[in-house]
């Protein structure tokens, strides 16, 4: 690459100073590199609350990133405004030749980057996007016919076949940073937000937070991930999702370790992440519509009370309620339970999956449009490689299988703490005298089931009949 005098690296969902594609490219190309982040009001103004853990997480991660960059002679320039305007203005102010940024695959982000590139071009400044958050992106993994995959397993096989060590090699981020009088990272108050309970719910932001979780997971659980990952009462998963979302740890390091440890199940989950990035990039209509267009013909129930009960964890099905309360309390939900509650909303309650997707988008600390949309469409059978429409999770058997002793249920639904294991998954089966004796009267201390699962299943099969393929 031809050497240039100075460049600007625009940090987005990649809040680290190591193994960073855009930062590496800029440091190799330019004599001096500036670093910037924009608290984008196009994103922030749309958030439902001024007390948002994700904004708090980003802010604290930026403080750590700024400190790391200052130790290397640089630092972060932080702006608050519309990124599509702030980045071109800053690039002009600094007199840089090129702006480097890691690519994002969400439709709104791609549109924003188009606006930025256009504005920069008018000033004679280049915009260079880099691949960083995915191992393979866009059209790098295609069918033999040159088309995008819509089924995961053949995509995974092609992904693995194409993979070489170069695809997960570490990016060198050594070089010269541009030092200047930097104001530092603004407080939450200065950008119109409030502090949250990050520490209380056990979230440590930044590169150090990611490193602590990753070291613990790879030292003791990564090889047992396949056996433990489906049980919410067991510490079996990595809890890295929010760090992957905001890039405080590089995906390449996780893939390298998974391959070295023979952790195929864990690697499989990382490949799913690439798969959903690709789907969103190649089929942006999934943001609002079913991947399978015929599923948009389904007539969903208009049931505000049912939706409210689901949101609040008051459906009368203990595992569903425990999962929703975990989400409402912590901003996180175990992956097995994400499938259970999504199936329950769309197939037991008959409520449009888009309402559940939106609720998750507002609540999840690790919200990622591609994975969230992919997961919800999988559960609703409207997505690529989704479960068949007639596969409907039974919330009781799911509870019996994955929380057999009710430990997870009792943690988040404490009113059921005294219920014996025999009834913990379906407490309404207890007799009235036993309920009185335990101090858990169904309908008084804990709601009865708002739907009968067997009857709901029949209604769902009838509802989905509109998309059944002829024999």
Say which of 10, 214, 266, 272 is annotated catalytic.
272
159: annotated active-site residue: no
Q: Which of 64, 353, 357, 373 is catalytic?
A: 353
Structure tokens at 89: 């203005």
10 has catalytic annotation: no
CA distances 241 to 59, 211, 271, Å, are 17, 13, 14
Task: Classify 439 in phi/psi space as left (phi over 0), alpha (psi -120 to 50) or beta.
Answer: left
**CA–CA separation, 243 vs 237, rounded Å?**
14
261, 269, 301, 400: the catalytic one is 269
- Strands (DSSP E) along 29-154, which ranges? 30-40, 76-81, 98-102, 126-130
Distance CA 216, CA 210 (A): 10
Q: What are phi and psi of 170, to 5 degrees?
A: -75, 135
Which tokens go with 4? 């240039």
Active-site residue, from 268, 289, 328, 335: 335
Given 287, 300, 301, 428, which residue is catalytic? 300
Angle at 290 between CA 286 and CA 295, to 5 degrees: 170
* Tokens found for residue 87: 């980045």
Is the separation of the CB atoms in 102 and 108 below 8 Å? no
Q: At 288, phi and psi to the nearest 5?
A: -125, -15
DSSP state letters, 351-377: --HHHHHHHHHHH-TT--HHHHHHHHH
Active-site residue list = 269, 272, 300, 335, 353, 376
């Amino acid at each position: 690459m031809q050497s240039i005098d100075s460049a600007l690296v625009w940090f987005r969902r990649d809040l680290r100073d190591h193994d960073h594609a855009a930062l590496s490219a800029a440091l190799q190309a330019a004599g001096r590199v500036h670093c910037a982040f924009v608290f984008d009001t196009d994103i922030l103004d749309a958030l439902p609350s001024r007390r948002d853990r994700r904004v708090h997480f980003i802010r604290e991660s930026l403080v750590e990133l700024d400190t790391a960059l200052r130790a290397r002679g640089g630092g972060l320039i932080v702006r608050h405004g519309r990124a599509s305007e702030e980045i071109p203005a800053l690039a002009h102010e600094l007199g840089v030749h090129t702006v480097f940024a890691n690519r994002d695959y969400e439709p709104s982000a791609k549109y924003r980057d188009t606006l930025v590139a256009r504005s920069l071009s008018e000033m004679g400044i280049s915009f260079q996007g880099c691949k960083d958050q995915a191992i393979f992106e866009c059209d790098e993994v295609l069918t033999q016919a040159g088309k995008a995959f819509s089924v995961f397993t053949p995509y995974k096989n092609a992904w693995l076949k194409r993979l070489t060590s170069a695809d997960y090699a570490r990016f060198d981020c050594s070089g010269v940073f541009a030092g200047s009088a930097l104001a530092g990272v603004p407080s939450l108050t200065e950008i119109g937000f409030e502090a949250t309970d990050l520490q209380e719910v056990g979230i440590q932001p930044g590169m150090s937070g990611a490193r602590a979780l990753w070291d613990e997971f790879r030292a003791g659980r990564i090889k047992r991930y396949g056996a433990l990952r489906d049980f919410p009462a067991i510490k079996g998963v990595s809890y890295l999702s929010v760090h992957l979302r905001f890039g405080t740890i590089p995906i390449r390091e996780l893939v390298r370790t998974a391959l070295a440890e023979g952790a195929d199940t864990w690697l499989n989950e990382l490949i799913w992440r690439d798969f959903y990035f690709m789907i969103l990039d190649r089929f942006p209509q999934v943001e609002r519509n079913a991947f399978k267009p015929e599923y948009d013909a389904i007539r969903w129930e208009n049931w505000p009370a049912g939706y409210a009960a689901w949101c609040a964890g008051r459906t009368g099905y203990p595992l569903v309620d425990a999962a929703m309360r975990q989400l409402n309390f912590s901003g996180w939900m175990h992956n097995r339970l994400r499938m259970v509650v999504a199936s329950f909303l769309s197939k037991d309650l008959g409520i449009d999956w888009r309402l559940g997707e939106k609720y998750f988008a507002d609540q999840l600390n690790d919200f990622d449009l591609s994975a969230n949309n992919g997961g919800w469409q999988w559960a609703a059978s409207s997505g690529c490689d989704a479960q068949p429409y007639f596969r409907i999770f039974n919330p009781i058997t799911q509870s019996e299988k994955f929380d057999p002793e009710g430990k997870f249920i009792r943690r988040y639904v404490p009113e059921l703490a005294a219920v014996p294991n025999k009834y913990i998954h379906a407490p309404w089966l207890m007799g009235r005298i036993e309920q009185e004796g335990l101090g858990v009267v169904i309908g008084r201390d804990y709601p009865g089931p708002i739907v009968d699962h067997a009857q709901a299943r029949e209604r769902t099969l009838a509802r989905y009949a509109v998309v059944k393929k002829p024999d």
